[in-house]
């Protein structure tokens, strides 16, 4: 029996079920049209609408597609609403389905399949369904679901603009009062609203070959389920017309530059320091998500860190990000990034007469620039390599200043990250395991776990272990805790006479104090007595290969 197009389209949907659940973002516009066509019932539509996340909504919708007719209708609406995803999936269908879709001329009985010979029918039905909603209904829906606070007034005005533009399910108005950002190659970012009331930032990208490549690249990353994270800007939908690509992402309250200006207000003084420390960690957690997915960001800078309604930092702008091939640690591609926010090795490649305008990028390059950004955040807007024309020279030569940071652990972390030698920089996991991020609970864990190591407990004989002896000496000499027994306050009690007067001895004493004199440990603020103890302990553990 010959396979009909309806059956082939249903097979397409079945074949890509997991990918559809992960990557379809225009769930509600598709559901709206299916409801208007009476392909799904009101009860099903309600379940989709109230589902908490985009993937949950798509899972509900997919589960409702039980017949070939329903799947065929979904197929056609997917092609209209998600053209880039549709084309990507179409390239990956099994050969027998692809051949059938290309060669079959069978007739189908589905009322939606009539759109194959009249391709505008489905779009017309969808448009009519959308037009059934009045402006007041749209405003009501936005008021119910609104998430943005800083831009609320502008959104309300936008929804009342008589000449606002609509491209597919996106509403916006290209006027300076609604513009919230801009980028290279003529890209501009405007406040917008989806047909279902979702607030978005719409990146409007002029069509040209380079922008097409960047747009499709960013779309691939944003739709990757591995990058779904509270620390990555959330993708909503996309569209295009004859002149522009439209990329709609979650609308955030600030970019990092504006947010830091907000924190400089007198009423924010009491929380400014702790907030900036939190922003650093969240920015790095976003980078961890990227690196674990094998992605190199390549354009880390203040304007590419966004702050959402919960004041959480989210990494954004993946147009020039690149995915590492399996087994590869670097990618060779066109030069990217922003002047003054590029890694040493990138600048060096062009200083050495590279005429191809291409460079090797790896995740270590991201780490160095993230270190620059960490200093920028914690120093309230300074750059470790200076300003002006000297900045790039200083990056190339490894000349930096951390003069606006006093905390020893903070300086140690940033110095490690911005090291001129890319092979000496930490991975993102090592960055986030640095003592800078340790709270009281983590400090307790470290002291217990390292203090209980067999080599540490056998402190009377550790000098027979040449590697341990040399490493302890390396991280003791010149430190505040060198000869620590003569420096501790008289209020410290029960110091073992046989404990060595070095890093290992202090570790064992603090471990014992936590176990037997916990009140004294906190009352005396023992950790604060030697501010370089934790970073020295951390380096000792890494050199010795100790897990903790």
Asked if 287 and 358 sit in the same domain, the reply is: yes
Boundaries of domain holding 332 = 254-435
Asked if 319 and 275 sit in the same domain, the reply is: yes
Domain of residue 412, CATH code: 1.10.510.10
Please answer whether residues 76 and 117 qualify as being in contact, where contact means their C-beta atoms are separated by less than 8 angstroms: no
Q: Which of 43-57, 285-299, 323-337 reaches the highest mean pLDDT? A: 285-299
Phi/psi for 445 (5° steps) reads -60, -45
Burial of 466 (0-12, 13-18, 19+ CB in 10 A): exposed
Per-residue confidence at 367, pLDDT binned at 50, 70, 90?
A: very high
Asked if 119 and 144 sit in the same domain, the reply is: no
Res 97 pLDDT > 70: no
- In sequence order, what DSSP letters do the residues of 151-216 get, joined into one string? THHHHHHHHT-TT-EEETTEEE--SGGGEEEE-STT-EEEEEEETTS-EEEEEEEE-SHHHHHHHH
Res 140 pLDDT > 60: no
Asked if 300 and 429 sit in the same domain, the reply is: yes
What is the distance of C-alpha 317 from the center of its chain? 9
What total of structural domains would you count in the chain? 4
Please answer whether residues 37 and 126 qualify as being in contact, where contact means their C-beta atoms are separated by less than 8 angstroms: no
Query: How far is CA 328 from each of CA 122, 363, 370, rounded to the nearest angstrom?
Result: 44, 11, 21
Res 210 pLDDT > 60: yes
Give the residue with greater pLDDT, 226 vs 409: 409
Task: Give CA–CA dist 183/304, Å, rounded.
Answer: 11
Asked if 202 and 141 sit in the same domain, the reply is: yes
Final residue before a domain boundary, out of 186, 217, 250: 250
Asked if 119 and 161 sit in the same domain, the reply is: no
Per-residue confidence at 103, pLDDT binned at 50, 70, 90?
A: low
Domain of residue 203, CATH code: 3.30.200.20
Strands (E), 321-467: 322-323, 330-334, 358-362
Asked if 424 and 319 sit in the same domain, the reply is: yes
Res 410 pLDDT > 90: yes
Asked if 227 and 349 sit in the same domain, the reply is: no
Strands (E), 425-521: none
What is the distance of C-alpha 17 from the center of its chain? 25
Asked if 291 and 199 sit in the same domain, the reply is: no
In 169-207, which positions are buried (b, 16+ CB within 10 angstroms) versus exposed (e)?
bbbbbeeeebebeebeeebbbbbbbbbbbbbbbbbbbee
Q: What is the pLDDT of residue 225?
A: 83
Per-residue confidence at 320, pLDDT binned at 50, 70, 90?
A: confident
Q: What is the pLDDT of residue 96?
A: 55
Final residue before a domain boundary, out of 435, 461, 486: 435
* 460's tokens: 């009377």
Asked if 281 and 424 sit in the same domain, the reply is: yes
Per-residue confidence at 147, pLDDT binned at 50, 70, 90?
A: low
Task: Give CA–CA dist 136/143, Å, rounded.
Answer: 10
Asked if 274 and 375 sit in the same domain, the reply is: yes
Asked if 482 and 460 sit in the same domain, the reply is: yes
**Averaged pLDDT of the chain:** 86
Adjacent-strand bridge partners of 361:
331
Query: To 5 degrees, how large is the angle CA 276–CA 440–CA 419?
Result: 50
Residue with tokens 């979650």: 250
Burial of 107 (0-12, 13-18, 19+ CB in 10 A): exposed
Residue with tokens 């395991």: 433
Q: What is the pLDDT of residue 93?
A: 64
In the chain, what's the furthest Cα-to-Cα distance?
A: 94
Burial of 60 (0-12, 13-18, 19+ CB in 10 A): buried
Query: How far is CA 69 from each of CA 7, 15, 34, 66, 129, rounded to the nearest angstrom?
Result: 8, 16, 11, 9, 20
CB contact set of 430 (below 8 Å; sequence gap of 6+): 542
Res 381 pLDDT > 70: yes
In this structure, are strands 305-307 and 254-255 parallel, antiparallel, or unpaired?
antiparallel
* 58's tokens: 């798509």
Give the residue with greater pLDDT, 533 vs 91: 533
Q: What is the pLDDT of residue 462?
A: 83
Q: What is the pLDDT of residue 260?
A: 96
What is the SS3 assignment for 353?
coil
Count CA atoms closer than 13 A to 85's CA, side-chain side: 28
Per-residue confidence at 485, pLDDT binned at 50, 70, 90?
A: very high
What is the signed CA dihedral for 534, 539, 544, 546, rounded to 10 degrees? 50
Please answer whether residues 169 and 237 qualify as being in contact, where contact means their C-beta atoms are separated by less than 8 angstroms: yes
Task: Give CA–CA dist 305/313, Å, rounded.
Answer: 6
Final residue before a domain boundary, out of 390, 406, 435: 435
Per-residue confidence at 464, pLDDT binned at 50, 70, 90?
A: confident
What is the model's pTM?
0.77
């Amino acid at each position: 029996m010959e396979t009909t197009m309806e059956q082939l389209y249903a097979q397409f949907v079945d074949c890509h079920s997991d990918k559809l659940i992960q990557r379809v973002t225009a769930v509600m516009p598709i559901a709206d049209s299916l409801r208007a066509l009476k392909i799904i019932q009101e009860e099903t539509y309600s379940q989709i609408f109230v589902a908490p996340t985009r993937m949950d909504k798509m899972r509900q919708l997919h589960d409702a597609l039980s017949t070939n007719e329903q799947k065929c209708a979904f197929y056609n609406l997917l092609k209209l609403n998600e053209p880039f995803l549709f084309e990507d999936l179409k390239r990956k269908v099994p050969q027998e389905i692809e051949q059938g879709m290309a060669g079959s001329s069978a007739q189908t009985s589905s009322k939606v399949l009539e759109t194959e010979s009249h391709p505008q029918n489905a779009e017309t039905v969808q448009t009519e369904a959308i037009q059934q909603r009045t402006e007041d209904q749209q405003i009501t829906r936005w008021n119910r679901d609104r998430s943005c606070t800083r831009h609320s007034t502008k959104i309300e005005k936008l929804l009342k603009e008589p000449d606002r533009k609509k491209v597919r399910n996106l509403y916006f108005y290209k006027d300076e009062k609604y513009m919230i950002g801009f980028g290279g190659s003529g890209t501009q970012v405007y406040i917008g609203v989806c047909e279902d009331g979702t607030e978005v930032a719409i990146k409007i990208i002029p069509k040209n070959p380079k922008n097409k490549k960047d747009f499709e690249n960013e779309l691939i990353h944003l739709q990757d389920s591995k990058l779904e994270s509270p620390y990555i800007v959330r993708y909503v939908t996309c569209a295009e017309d004859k002149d522009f690509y439209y990329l709609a992402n979650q609308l955030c309250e600030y970019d990092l530059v504006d947010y830091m200006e907000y924190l400089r207000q007198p009423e924010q003084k009491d929380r400014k320091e702790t907030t900036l420390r939190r922003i650093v960690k969240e920015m790095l957690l976003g980078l961890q998500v990227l690196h674990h997915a094998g992605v190199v960001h390549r354009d880390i800078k203040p304007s590419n860190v966004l702050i959402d309604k919960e004041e959480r930092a989210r990494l954004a702008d993946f147009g020039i990000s690149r995915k590492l091939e399996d087994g590869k640690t670097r990618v060779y591609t066109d030069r990217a990034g922003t002047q003054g926010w590029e890694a040493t090795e990138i600048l060096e490649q062009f200083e050495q007469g590279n005429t191809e305008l291409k460079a090797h990028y790896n995740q270590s390059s991201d780490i160095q620039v993230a270190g620059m950004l960490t200093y920028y955040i914690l120093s309230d807007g300074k750059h470790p390599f200076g300003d002006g024309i000297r900045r790039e020279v200083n990056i190339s030569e490894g000349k930096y200043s951390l003069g606006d940071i006093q905390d020893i652990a903070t300086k140690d972390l940033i110095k490690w990250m911005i090291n001129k030698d890319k092979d000496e920089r930490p991975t993102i996991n090592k960055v986030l395991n640095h003592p800078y991020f340790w709270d009281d609970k983590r400090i307790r864990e470290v002291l217990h776990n390292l203090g209980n190591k067999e080599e540490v407990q056998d402190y009377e004989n550790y000098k027979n272990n040449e590697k341990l002896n040399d490493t302890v000496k390396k991280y003791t000499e010149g430190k505040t805790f060198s000869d620590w027994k003569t420096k501790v306050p008289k209020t410290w009690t029960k110091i073992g006479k046989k404990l060595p007067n070095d890093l290992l001895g202090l570790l064992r004493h603090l471990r014992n104090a936590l176990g037997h004199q916990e009140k004294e440990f906190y009352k005396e603020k023992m950790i604060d007595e030697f501010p370089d103890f934790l970073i020295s302990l951390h380096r000792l553990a890494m050199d010795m290969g100790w897990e903790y």
